[in-house]
Amino acid sequence: MSDSRDLTEQESLALISNMIQKVKASHHDTGITSLMWGTVVTLASLVTYLQREFEFKIGFDIWLIVFAAIIPQVIITLRKRRQIKVVKYEDAALDAVWLAFGLSIFGLTVYQNIVPYATVTLSHEEGWQMVKHYTDGSGKPDEILRPFPLSIYSIYILLYAVPTLVTGITKKFRYMILGAILSYVAFVISCYTASKYDMLLGAIAAAFCWLIPGIIIRRKYLAQRKADV
């Protein structure tokens, strides 16, 4: 039966408030993206640390799994776009933040791989090169050194915190806020530690920023789905 009477002012305000609440409650993050990236980055960082700590090689560059994860991410994004029925302003803004984060990480990887070679070329043109000189009195001869960005993984750890903190604050998700804070702490510690320990700190940061929050979001999502059935 249709109700065509005019609403009172109180009813209008109640309706507006009710609709806003319904929109707020319509968020259903599956947690898959956090879970996947959390697993991949934690694993890659941890394996890198273990390889360097215990001096063994797994036979391939473990960081290739990060690039491999882009394929399922594209599939997840396309599926999400097909299923999504509403785009909230905050979701659109957060997507932009994560896109900027992804591009920045890619940019940093490019920097990390190009700068050492570019430095060698430029220094050759200027007629000098970097040399490792021992000061421990061992008398070892100097070694030619290929330039490298010092403690670069600290910058990655610093970057991990940015989108995580923005998402945590926006979504009022305290596990991501805690993850971001921990990431900042890991960044500070990594400034004082050898690069192999930076990898371990990176693994901890990635686990707390994405893996653990991802597990929590996934469990909530599955519980909600079970309740809806």
Partner 1 sequence: MSLLIGVKEAEFTFIKEKTNATAGNLSVQVQKLKEAGYIEVLKQFKDNYPQTTCKVTPKGIEAFEAYVKALQQYLQVGK
Residues near partner 1 (CB under 8 A) are: 2, 9-10, 12-13, 15-16, 18-20, 22-24, 26, 82, 85-89, 91-92
> What is the nearest approach in angstroms of partner 1 to the Cβ of residue 163?
19
Minimum Å gap between C-beta 73 and partner 1 is 21
Which helix H or strand E contains 144, and what residues bound it?
A: strand 143-144
- Minimum separation from the CB atom of position 28 to partner 1 (A): 12
Please state the closest distance from residue 45 (CB atom) to partner 1, in A: 35
CB of 53 to partner 1, least distance (A): 47
First to last CA, the chain: 28
Q: How far apart are CA 164 and CA 108, in angstroms?
A: 18
Of 71 and 86, nearer to partner 1 (C-beta) is 86
* CA 39 and chain centroid, separation: 11
Taking the least distance from each CB to partner 1, the nearer of 88 and 124 is 88
Contacts of 115 (CB under 8 A, 6+ apart): 147, 149
Q: Which is nearer to partner 1, 17 or 113 (CB)?
A: 17
- Looking at the Cβ atoms of 57 and 85, the one nearer to partner 1 is 85
Closer of 3 and 126 to partner 1 (Cβ): 3
Q: 203-229 b/e with 16+ CB inside 10 Å = b? A: bbbbbbbbbbbbbbbbeeeeeeeeeee
